[in-house]
Amino acid sequence: MTSIKLKLKESEVQQLKEVAKSFNNEPGELINVLHKAQEIFGYLPAEVQEVVAQELNVSVAKVYGVVTFYSFFTMLPRGRYPISICTGTACYVRGAEKVLDEFKRLLKVPVGETTADGKFSITCLRCVGACGLAPVVMVGDKTYGRVTTDGVKEILKEYEDQE
Amino acid sequence: MIKINIDNRTVEVEKGTTIFHAAKKLGIEIPTLCYMNLGDLNIEHKPGGCRVCVVEVEGRRNLAPACATDCYEGMVVKTHSMRVLNARKTVLELILSDHPFDCLVCAKSGTCDLQDMAIKMGVRSIPFQGEKSTYKPDFSPAIIREMDKCIMCRRCETMCNDFQTVGVLSGIHRGFEAVVAPAFERDLDHSECTYCGQCVAVCPTGALVEVDHTTQLIRDLADTNKKVIVQTAPAVRAALGEAFGLEPGTLVTGKMVAALRRLGFDYVFDTDFAADLTIMEEGTELLDRLTRFLGGDKEVKLPMLTSCCPGWVNFFEYHFPDMRDIPSTARSPQQMFGSIAKTYFADKIETKREDMIVVSVMPCVAKKYECTRDEFAVDGNPDVDYSISTRELAMLIKRSNIDFNSLPEEDFDKPMGESTGAGVIFGATGGVIEAAVRSAYELHTKKQLEKIDFEQLRGLGGIRSASVDFDGVEIKIGIAHGLGNARKLLEDIKAGKSEYHAIEIMACPGGCIGGGGQPLHHGNPEIIKARQKAIYQEDAGKPIRKSHENPYIIKLYEEFLGEPMSEKAHHLLHTHYFDKKKKDILID
Amino acid sequence: MAKFKMHMLVCGGTGCRASASDMLYENLVKEVKENGLEDEVQVVTTGCFGFCEKGPIVKVIPDNTFYVSVEPGDAKDIIAEHAIKGRRVQRLLYVDPTNKEQIADSKGMGFYKKQIRIALRNCGMIDPENIEEYLAADGYEALGKVLTEMTPDEAIQEMIDSGLRGRGGGGFPTGVKWKLAAKEKADQKYVVCNADEGDPGAFMDRSILEGDPHTVLEAMVINGYCIGASKGLVYIRAEYPLAIYRLKIAIEQAREYGLLGNDILGTGFSFDVEIRYGAGAFVCGEETALIHSMEGERGEPTFKPPFPAQSGYLGKPTNVNNVETFANIPVIYNKGAKWFASIGTEKSTGTKVFALAGKINNVGLIEVPMGITLREVIFEVGGGIKDGKKFKAVQTGGPSGGCLTEKHLDTPIDFDNLLAVGSMMGSGGMIVMDEDDCMVAVAKFYLDFTVEESCGKCSPCRIGNKRLYELLDKITKGQADKEDMDNLRNLSYVIRDTSLCGLGQTSPNPVLSTMDNFLDEYMAHIEEGRCPSGVCKDLIRYEVIPENCVGCTACARNCPVNCIAGERKQLHIIDQALCIKCGACLEKCKFNAIAII
Amino acid sequence: MTKIKSLADLKKLKGDLQSKIALREKSDTPEGRVIVKVAMSTCGIASGAKDVMEYMIDEFEKRSIDAIVTQTGCIGYCYAEPTVEITLPGNEPVVYGYVDTRKADEIIEKYIKNQELVDGILPVNYQTIEKDKEE
């Protein structure tokens, strides 16, 4: 754990406080508030969790306990183009693992991490419910179906030219 | 009432009784690692997580956790069928497969529930090998966390959150990675931990233990240049015997003194002496505040809160810093003792402060932290050098080849070993306030108390209240033990709803007798009750039972301090509190 | 404008193509041309009819003639007889196996009864973002009927009579569950819709919410009326943005039309629905865990009793049903419990939606009556195994279910039968596996899932599943011995016997069922160090077959670790020490010169 | 929209809506309108249903075809996404699978304009429950 304290943008903190208020600062709304917080900040660093804890009057440990329980919440900033590879059963039997390996090989980062340039990050997720298109890969909100190892290169190419 | 059959025997139990308790009625001890029930203290923890207590219930598809399954009429239960024993042993082997095998060098060895269970189940090898959980050990001033040894019973979490409402510990991550930890897996030192030690008191394994000062102590005792002085807290004598196989509630004051002397302490003193001193200061402060209040002073802060419990002091510094002017400024007995020992007594025996080591034996883990606070040191030399727990003392006695049970009864040394019954009852919830009332009443009314025992202040209810007639003035008193209960009283004060004049707060269940440094109660609330009884028994047997009548206290004021709340007393016996609430959210 | 008088639909599904439908198509086109019918008869290929057993299939429009087992040579007759003379070719007609009657018109074929759409009735039919289309399709009529014509007790009785069982996995009778919640006395009760579809490979709940969100809302209001609740909550996966979006629209519209909110349909009954988001925890499909999650806690299950019906959300009586269960409910009230109970089997009434996936041709959502056999589902509705491979196993019930084999194919599907053969209905995932799937690796895949999704609260699930996974891993690496098999089995039994919630109680099913049905595969790994399906990386090698290698260099160029050596037009060799067994060479080789050994 | 106040209101509204939909489908022209339903569920959209839908709307306008295009949920043919259902006036609905813009163009030109079937029809292989018809 890094000891360098992250500085949050005041406007974003304010936004988060508004969100908490819109949920009546109810401790029971913790998960809803965390969802919104992740939308605002992109991820949930310790500092954000501290604000959430303060606003909902729950212990930071509890917030952290909840954040680490659910795989949807992340404490690491994701890449500008977060790549999610579905590793649900349908995708698994149709070769998701090979697709995942190819992403890892080409981007040279393990699952859960972001490339040095902050462009791509790789995560695995469980079934997006598009099993008909297995194996499925998502980049941001865009879904790619029937992805092959060859297709991996093409997907990356789409984003490499940007920025 | 319903009838059920356990291991071919019938028992009648009330509706809502679990299999675990029904079996107990038949003398069947179903093993468990996570279940904990502290009866009167209103702490029941039954997550049904360890699955060691599983039993076979006829007609049920899978095994049932005895701790969480209610009995029903006609239920047929088997607690040691082949299926049960195999499952129980396998579950235990699984737990052990994710546990370090360093039993021989573990602080908990011999008092570890997991070790006990492995012996009981006859585990001879672990059929499962695989990844083990590893965590960075966490060394705080009072508590050591070695989460490799955590078995996820979550008792600590319940104590920290539900009972203490401190909220430092929480279950984090999930699945195999799940463990109990402070936020962001930071060290306790960087959390809002009060060091109350209740997590340590209930931990079934060596995952949570206190910081061990015994080696340091042995070294200091061997140093001939040092005068080593020990003080023992009231609750220690009511529990130390348990470590030597004596019945809970056996008073071992005399043997304890003898043992300490044999260990090599130069002076064996009593924290009770300092407790009497605390009453002089705190009682005077209370009377002062009351007099001003009754005289119409609107500025005066009431109720006054006691301040002897270091866990409690930490608690309000973290959680209610804006109310830190309400508690008494009197230092705790441990610190008053250290302060007087290293001034008044040091002068008496003509020893320099640096050559004196003051050690305390405490039922407490937070005391280890308290004596490290900067404000309790002079030029970096602490008033109390370190504090050892009742458990550490027991270990030390054993290590030093002392047969505790055959020791003679000996008396404390003078002058700081002389105490009254009022000092003794500091060890139980309600005791501090009772001691204060005994003195304050007489000092205020200038009348003799007819009845010294204030039964209405005793008991084990989490929040208790009583009123005492101070010769026409009704003084309302509140008592809370457990920080969760304290929180309720504080919130009332904050909301202006509190009617009390004085409130006693102790962090631990039952007060110091249930402290985090005591021999482990292994979830048996009867032990705490027995210790409480012993405390009041010691009080009843004392010739002097009111602090202000302690001749050595009187002498101390005459020779050294002057008056209670004098400038010197202020300097040596009072303190101030800090705002420890974290509010440093950085904004760009 | 060219208008054909006749269309000939030739099945171009993979199954039929395997039985030469391509040639049939060509022959038909040729015949049409030769007879100069180009302007009258059009021949087109279609997707799978789902009747692959009797393929290739030709359907003639407009008379709906359905020809089965048509061979390429039959093209001549079909054109000559049917197209020119207007007479059906009798010998190619389908014969009903029950009464041996020839059926000419496909509409009369029992085959179409294989799928009945109740829960999915509106999916793909109406615009999910337009309440008017739902209303036009009998929407909210069941609600009107229940609110104005039935007492809560009567409505619950109707539900009990229908025999509907929870579609989320457990199969608990829905009406009975409602009754339990109804009899509790409380100032507030809750209806919860479990839309936290976590079973990998199942997506019917998402489809229903995306295609017909109002049906769920309507059912929730009915549920609320029955148990005396005025608040409903939908607990939905945050990973389903479209479903959330459409559900929100539906809630808004229902409020606008007064179908949610106060005094619904002037009956004085009030009910409203809120959305709660899941955050990616499979265990939250378990009701107590789901409720804790909705309360903002870690989604750890708690021991039952108390059941949610007694003490659920915020300690109040709560009824939890899943999306598919709710989707059936309006139809039950519209058409009656008796009608519903007439579909399916005696103990499992109605239909079940399955998500067919894996090595099957027609990956998709199907809704079939209970009691249909696995064979019918896989080989008829599902169109058989992909690429003409051999069927090996079908996994039902997701990570809680088991792998069933050839010998189970004729088992009628219902809650109890699946349980009896070591699997379970689960939420309706159905993953088909072929000869290329290693069953030990499949079991390991599921355990990997369970290990990741275990909440960690109870020891057998937290540590036991990890150890199960490690034992399986050992087997797939060829490092296990027979004792490990004993440990694997004992551990599986103990985890099942001692775990706190359904997740752990069922997590060993994939292991136990594969051990029971594919013991030889396990033993091949252990005794021979061999993976019969050629899947387990540590037990296989990629080798160049010298006779087939032409030295095209394709493999060497595509090898990610450059471990293939060889000059152009010369034999290539794989350096086994460097090979990472990614299989790229095998994929790239056009000459069958690379083999898994 | 005013709230529906009673069951009678609800039934009346349903009747109105059904005829409104029927009317909408009839259009002013004697032949009636072409009804196009695009399956827009997650998997449909992921495989490009949105592009297909937009393309068809544009093309209908360009080619002056009187059609209404609506979105709908998943029909279950996940393997063949995107899927589009087309109902020509007076005809049974026909579902096409694997529809991309090129295929859509072919469907418009051949099927919609000329009632010429195009390869890739997905046969209906399920039963629907009978809807209760009002009066």
User: What is the average pLDDT across B280-293?
Assistant: 92
Task: Please name every residue paired with A142 in a beta bridge, in sequence order, or none if there are none.
Answer: A139
Closest CA to B180 of B141, B148, B132: B148
| Chain D residues 92-111 with CB within 8 Å of chain C | 97
Q: Is C462 inside a domain boundary?
A: yes
Shortest Cα distance, chain D CAs vs residue C533, angstroms: 25
pLDDT, tens digit, 9 for 90 and up, residues B319-350: 999 999 999 999 999 999 999 999 999 999 99
Q: Which whole-number Å values give the CA distances from C122 to C127, C206, C222, in the listed order?
A: 9, 14, 19
Residue D11 contacts C where some CB pair is shorter than 8 Å: yes
Based on the domain organization, do C450 and C403 belong to the same domain? no
- The residue ranking higher by pLDDT, D73 or C215, is C215
Indicate the DSSP class of residue D13. Answer: H
Separation between Cα atoms, residue C148 and residue C264, nearest integer Å? 10
Contact call for D79 and A128, based on CB within 8 A:
no
CATH number of B280-308+317-329+420-551: 3.40.950.10
For this structure, is B354 an active site residue?
no
pLDDT, tens digit, 9 for 90 and up, residues B137-180: 999 999 999 999 999 999 999 999 999 999 999 999 999 999 99
Based on C-alpha coordinates, what's the Rg of chain B?
Answer: 25
Domain spans of chain B? 2-97, 138-210, 214-273+332-417, 280-308+317-329+420-551
**What's the pLDDT at C477?**
95
Separation between Cα atoms, residue B196 and residue B368, nearest integer Å? 10
CATH number of B214-273+332-417: 3.40.50.1780
Contact call for C296 and A130, based on CB within 8 A:
no
**What's the pLDDT at C110?**
59
Separation between Cα atoms, residue B185 and residue B187, nearest integer Å? 7
- The residue ranking higher by pLDDT, C51 or B255, is B255
CB burial string B176-195: b at 16+ within 10 A, e below: bebbbbbbbbbbbeebbbbb
Residue C110 contacts D where some CB pair is shorter than 8 Å: no
Q: Which whole-number Å values give the CA distances from B546 to B448, B452, B458, in the listed order?
A: 11, 8, 17
DSSP state string for A79-129: PSEEEEEE-SHHHHHTTHHHHHHHHHHHHT--TT-B-TTSSEEEEEES--S
DSSP state string for C479-537: ---HHHHHHHHHHHHHHHHH-SSHHHHHTTHHHHHHHHH-HHHHHHHHHS---TTS--G
Helix axes A46-56, A10-22, angle to 10 degrees: 40
Based on the domain organization, do C274 and C301 belong to the same domain? yes
Contact call for C357 and A141, based on CB within 8 A:
no
pLDDT, tens digit, 9 for 90 and up, residues A68-79: 999 889 998 888
Mean residue pLDDT of chain B comes to: 94
Interchain touch B–D (≥3 Cβ pairs closer than 8 Å): no
Contact call for D71 and C129, based on CB within 8 A:
yes
Residue A76 contacts C where some CB pair is shorter than 8 Å: no
Residue B321 contacts A where some CB pair is shorter than 8 Å: no
Shortest Cα distance, chain C CAs vs residue A139, angstroms: 13
Helix (H) or strand (E) holding B236: none
The pair of three-digit structure tokens given for residue C191, joined into one six-digit string: 């209806």
Q: Which residues of B touch A74 (CB under 8 A)?
A: none
Answer whether residue A92 shows pLDDT above 90. no
Q: Give me the half-sphere count of Cα atoms (radius 13 Å) on the Cβ side of residue B270.
A: 31
Residue C444 contacts B where some CB pair is shorter than 8 Å: no
Contacts of B446 (CB under 8 A, 6+ apart): none
Q: What does DSSP say about strands B179-181 and B170-172: parallel, antiparallel, or unpaired?
A: antiparallel
- Chains sharing 3 or more CB pairs under 8 A with chain D: A, C
Of C303, C463, C505, the CB nearest to B98: C463
Indicate the fold that domain B2-97 takes in CATH: Ubiquitin-like (UB roll) (3.10.20)
CB B49 within 8 A of CB C300: no
User: What is the average pLDDT across A114-133?
Assistant: 81
Catalytic entry in B282, B317, B434, B504: B282
Q: Report the number of distinct structural domains present in chain D.
A: 1
Please identify which residue in the block is written with the tokens 């939890």. Answer: C320
- Residue B262: phi, psi to the nearest 5? -70, -25
Boundaries of domain holding C409 = 351-434
Length of chain A: 163
Based on C-alpha coordinates, what's the Rg of chain C?
Answer: 28
Indicate the DSSP class of residue B39. Answer: G
Please identify which residue in the block is written with the tokens 């349909």. Answer: C265
The pair of three-digit structure tokens given for residue C193, joined into one six-digit string: 């819709």
Shortest Cα distance, chain B CAs vs residue C173, angstroms: 18
CB burial string B90-110: b at 16+ within 10 A, e below: bbbbbbbbbbbeebeebbbee
**What's the pLDDT at C234?**
97
Q: Is D133 inside a domain boundary?
A: no
| Chain C residues 305-364 with CB within 8 Å of chain A | 314, 355, 357-359, 363-364
Contact call for C494 and B48, based on CB within 8 A:
no
For this structure, is B308 an active site residue?
yes
Separation between Cα atoms, residue A123 and residue A82, nearest integer Å? 8
Please identify which residue in the block is written with the tokens 């202040």. Answer: B457
**What's the pLDDT at A2?**
41
A81-160 CATH choice from 3.30.1520.10, 3.90.850.10, 3.40.30.10, 3.30.9.10 = 3.40.30.10
Separation between Cα atoms, residue C123 and residue B401, nearest integer Å? 82
For this structure, is B567 an active site residue?
no
Separation between Cα atoms, residue C499 and residue C170, nearest integer Å? 16
The pair of three-digit structure tokens given for residue B201, joined into one six-digit string: 């008191």
Contacts of C150 (CB under 8 A, 6+ apart): C158
Q: Which whole-number Å values give the CA distances from A126 to A39, C199, C447, in the listed order?
A: 20, 8, 14
Mean pLDDT by 10 residues, chain C (597 residues): 73 68 87 88 78 77 83 90 87 78 68 80 88 92 95 97 91 95 96 90 88 96 97 92 92 96 95 94 93 95 92 96 96 96 94 89 87 90 84 91 93 92 88 92 92 95 97 95 94 96 94 95 95 91 91 88 88 90 85 89
Separation between Cα atoms, residue C124 and residue C137, nearest integer Å? 13
Answer whether residue D23 shows pLDDT above 90. no
Three-state DSSP state, C129: coil
Which amino acid would we find at residue D19?
A: S
Closest CA to C406 of C393, C388, C419, C417: C393
D134: confidence class by pLDDT, cuts 50, 70, 90:
very low
Separation between Cα atoms, residue A72 and residue A49, nearest integer Å? 15
Three-state DSSP state, C107: helix
**What's the pLDDT at C520?**
95
Strand order in the sheet with D34-39: C65-67, C58-61, C6-11, C41-46, D121-122, D94-96, D84-87, D34-39, D67-72
Q: Does domain B138-210 have CATH number 3.30.70.20?
A: yes
**What's the pLDDT at C18?**
63
For this structure, is B375 an active site residue?
yes
Residue A72 contacts C where some CB pair is shorter than 8 Å: yes
Q: Is C143 inside a domain boundary?
A: yes
Q: Give me the half-sphere count of Cα atoms (radius 13 Å) on the Cβ side of residue C382.
A: 29
Separation between Cα atoms, residue B529 and residue B513, nearest integer Å? 9
Q: Which whole-number Å values give the CA distances from C201 to A136, A145, B359, C42, C363, in the listed order?
A: 12, 15, 65, 39, 11
Separation between Cα atoms, residue A71 and residue B174, nearest integer Å? 10
Of C303, C452, C454, the CB nearest to B68: C303
Contact call for A144 and D42, based on CB within 8 A:
no
For chains C and D, count residue pairs whose Cβ atoms are closer than 8 Å. 192
**What's the pLDDT at C3?**
66
Is A28 exposed, middle or buried, given 0-12, 13-18 or 19+ CB atoms closer than 10 A?
A: middle
Contact call for B161 and A13, based on CB within 8 A:
no
**What's the pLDDT at B431?**
95
Shortest Cα distance, chain C CAs vs residue B98, angstroms: 7
Closest CA to B416 of B321, B552, B301, B283: B552
- Determine if the peptide bond prior to D82 is cis (ω within 30°): yes
Based on the domain organization, do C447 and C502 belong to the same domain? yes
CB C12 within 8 A of CB C46: yes
Q: Report the number of distinct structural domains present in chain C.
A: 5
Catalytic entry in B78, B342, B367, B529: B367
Nearest 5°: CA angle at B259, between B258 and B261?
65
pLDDT, tens digit, 9 for 90 and up, residues B427-480: 999 999 999 999 999 988 898 988 899 998 999 999 999 998 888 889 999 999
Q: Which residues of chain A are at the D interface, by a Cβ-Cβ cutoff of 8 Å?
A: 128-133, 136, 143-145
Separation between Cα atoms, residue C397 and residue B490, nearest integer Å? 52
B40: confidence class by pLDDT, cuts 50, 70, 90:
confident
Contact call for D43 and A144, based on CB within 8 A:
no
Based on the domain organization, do C523 and C545 belong to the same domain? no
Q: Is D6 inside a domain boundary?
A: no
User: What is the average pLDDT across D12-28?
Assistant: 78
The pair of three-digit structure tokens given for residue B406, joined into one six-digit string: 């055959």
For this structure, is B512 an active site residue?
yes
Three-state DSSP state, B557: helix
Contacts of B82 (CB under 8 A, 6+ apart): none
Of C338, C368, C386, which marks where a domain is finished?
Answer: C338
CB A1 within 8 A of CB A28: no
Closest CA to C155 of C105, C102, C227: C227
Catalytic entry in B354, B375, B563, B567: B375
Based on the domain organization, do C188 and C281 belong to the same domain? yes
For chains B and C, count residue pairs whose Cβ atoms are closer than 8 Å. 112
For this structure, is B281 an active site residue?
no
ipTM above 0.95, yes or no: no
Answer whether residue D31 shows pLDDT above 70. no
CB B134 within 8 A of CB A25: no
- For residue D98, the domain's CATH number is 3.40.30.10
**What's the pLDDT at C413?**
93
Answer whether residue B113 shows pLDDT above 90. yes
D135: confidence class by pLDDT, cuts 50, 70, 90:
very low
Q: What does DSSP say about strands C6-11 and C58-61: parallel, antiparallel, or unpaired?
A: antiparallel
Boundaries of domain holding D114 = 28-122
Separation between Cα atoms, residue C233 and residue C249, nearest integer Å? 15
**What's the pLDDT at D133?**
37
Helix locations, C376-508, DSSP H = 415-420, 439-453, 459, 465-476, 482-498, 502-506
Q: Is C117 inside a domain boundary?
A: no
Based on the domain organization, do C427 and C452 belong to the same domain? no
**What's the pLDDT at C1?**
36
- What end-to-end distance do the CA atoms of chain D give, in Å? 25
Of C451, C487, C498, the CB nearest to B175: C451
- Chains sharing 3 or more CB pairs under 8 A with chain C: A, B, D
Separation between Cα atoms, residue C529 and residue C540, nearest integer Å? 9
Based on the domain organization, do C302 and C195 belong to the same domain? yes
Please state, as a whole number, how many other Cβ atoms lie within 10 Å of the Cβ of residue C315. 13
